[in-house]
Amino acid sequence: MSSELTAALTQLLEARIVGFLTAGVGLGMLFGALPGLTATMGIALLVPLTFWLPTDQGLAMLLGIYCGAIPAGGIPAILLNVPGTPASIAATWDGYALSQKGRADLALKINVFASLFGQLLGVLFLALAAFPIASLALRMGPAEYFGLGVFGLSLMAGVSGKRVWEGVLAGTLGLALATVGLDPLTAYPRFTFGLPELLDGVAFIPVMIGLFGLGEVLAAISAGVTPFGATTHRSADAPALQRCVGPVLGSSLLGSLIGVFVGAVPAAGGDIAAIIAWDQSRRLSPNREEFGQGSTRGLAAACAAANAVIGGAMTTMMTLGIPGDAPSAVLIGALLIHGVQPGPLMFRDHRTLVWTIVLLLALAALVTASVGLLGSAPLARLARVPAPYLWMAVVLLSITGAYALNNSLTDVWLMFIAGLAGFVLRKLEVPLGPLVLGLILGPMIESNLRRALVLSRGDWSTIFARPLVLVFLVAAAAALFGPVAALRRTQHNRPAALSR
């Protein structure tokens, strides 16, 4: 292990890698600070740019975007009450209240510290837990992978909020889309409509660019321009960083632990983690009434959780090949483009790369914190860029990004269709996360189930008799039907609650 760690460290000292990482952090902070642009969109739009770079340099840039965008999303949340990314929604509750009280500088410093704390704790978890999880995963066969895939997919119900059935349907649609192309076992063409471009299946990255880039712009246009006219109150006597840290250390730790756990759960993202962490921090606090009125502890818990998700999500993505959140789903596509298959085999065949990723994430967290301390104020001004210019940039980047992947106009059409579908699904309140999850996990579930059936000579009972498969399937059933039962209970109790 030490030789791979040393090799990764040596790589990290290369000026080009540090340069691409810093550029990625800068771009990520730009995407995070601009309301309407997200980390997922930033990574999806810039994956094609890294196609021409060596794997380590490309990954440095993409991980920089990921780590830069999430903390930067807190800047407009604190100063303008407009979350820069979905993960910073909970940061508006106390961050903006602090800003209104003339303590914006304190809030920005807490955002920087808690984000750094959360990211570093997440990286520590990745470094300690990833190898044991991967070695366990290496012992699994096709049947276990099928069970794991079904379990990952079943979590789509939990992340669909009140729209459980819509989420499950979107996930199934993702699975169906994954069947387009040549059958993995017999090479029989399915749903290709005679188009040779579809023989390789539905390209993942153009679909993501369409859903999260163009689809978002169409939804924003349909909702009208949001003016960012909030006033910012900044105090003249800003407290030193070390004086801000002490009181929020406990909340940052709690938020980070929740963030790592939520991040490790497939498809659950920073927004969910931050809300849970804020709520738990409020429950444990003796001054509950302060929360939502400008509590530094509430802000720290929310910011730390949103950022700790990165480590948890990367652990699940790298060890099992299942995305922990939306940005890591796009990162899977990026790794595949660079010839690396995320999953346990990555820990056997690309050990140096694993350590490179761990170190890149740690370095990105430090660079982001440094830039955050110096550049919060200019980034806050960027948040006032009028929406039409942002929309134009996103539309043009969506087109060029989708084309640049394979120099294929079909990919651009695919992105366009995915954008339209994303807009329609958003309007119909169908969550998009499960669709992406289905698209990613579909090939894993299908090919492993059929491989397991070939090995067992078509005997289904031998597959379901394997203990680990059974554990995964029972957990999947609980994950799928738990939220459904909870939803039914809520609907059942609603009339009584209303009458009270």
Partner 1 sequence: MGCPVKKRPIDPVACGFAAIGVTLAYAGWQFPRLGGVVPGPGFFPMVCGLAMLAFALPLFIAGRPRPVQWVATQQQARPLIALILALTLYLLLWHWVPFLIRTALLAIVLLRLASVGWRRATFAGCLTTLALWAGFFLGLHVNFD
List residues near partner 1 by CB under 8 A: 49, 51-52, 165-166, 168-169, 172-173, 175-176, 179, 183, 185-186, 188, 190-191, 214, 218, 221-225, 386-389, 391-393, 395-397, 399-400, 403-404, 407, 409, 412-413, 416, 420, 427-430, 446, 449-450, 453-454, 457-459
- CB count in 10 Å sphere of residue 370: 14
The least CB distance from residue 228 to partner 1, in Å, is 15
The least CB distance from residue 62 to partner 1, in Å, is 16
Smaller CB separation from partner 1, 230 or 395: 395
Smaller CB separation from partner 1, 228 or 416: 416
Q: Which of 105, 31, 16, 30 shows the shortest CA–CA distance to 61?
A: 16
The least CB distance from residue 394 to partner 1, in Å, is 10
Smaller CB separation from partner 1, 24 or 95: 24
Smaller CB separation from partner 1, 9 or 409: 409
Token output for 368: 């982001």
Smaller CB separation from partner 1, 119 or 398: 398
Cα–Cα distance measured from residue 387 to residue 420, given in angstroms and rounded to the nearest whole number: 20
Which residue's structure tokens are 């979905």?
86
SS3 state of residue 102:
coil
The least CB distance from residue 223 to partner 1, in Å, is 5
The least CB distance from residue 27 to partner 1, in Å, is 12
- Cα angle, residue 39 at apex, residues 238 and 129 outer, rounded to 5°: 90
DSSP code of residue 84? S
Cα–Cα distance measured from residue 199 to residue 188, given in angstroms and rounded to the nearest whole number: 9
Smaller CB separation from partner 1, 151 or 278: 151
Smaller CB separation from partner 1, 131 or 481: 481
The least CB distance from residue 48 to partner 1, in Å, is 8
Cα–Cα distance measured from residue 240 to residue 109, given in angstroms and rounded to the nearest whole number: 9
Smaller CB separation from partner 1, 374 or 396: 396
What phi and psi values does residue 478 have, to the nearest 5 degrees?
A: -65, -40
Residue 495 CB-half CA count within 13 A: 2
The least CB distance from residue 149 to partner 1, in Å, is 12
DSSP per residue, 330-382: HHHHHHHHTT---STTHHHH-HHHHHHHHHHHHHHHHHHHHHHHHHHHHHHHH
Cα–Cα distance measured from residue 251 to residue 408, given in angstroms and rounded to the nearest whole number: 49
Per this entry, what is the length of the chain? Answer: 500
Smaller CB separation from partner 1, 222 or 341: 222
Token output for 274: 């931050």
Smaller CB separation from partner 1, 80 or 453: 453
The least CB distance from residue 192 to partner 1, in Å, is 12
Which residue's structure tokens are 């801000």?
244
Pair 241, 373: CB distance under 8 Å: yes
C-alpha of 190 from chain center: 30
Burial class (CB in 10 A: 0-12, 13-18, 19+), 163: middle
Beta strand 189-190 with 181-182: parallel, antiparallel or unpaired? antiparallel
The least CB distance from residue 260 to partner 1, in Å, is 31
The least CB distance from residue 87 to partner 1, in Å, is 25
The least CB distance from residue 408 to partner 1, in Å, is 11
Smaller CB separation from partner 1, 165 or 464: 165
Pair 207, 439: CB distance under 8 Å: yes
Cα–Cα distance measured from residue 315 to residue 6, given in angstroms and rounded to the nearest whole number: 21
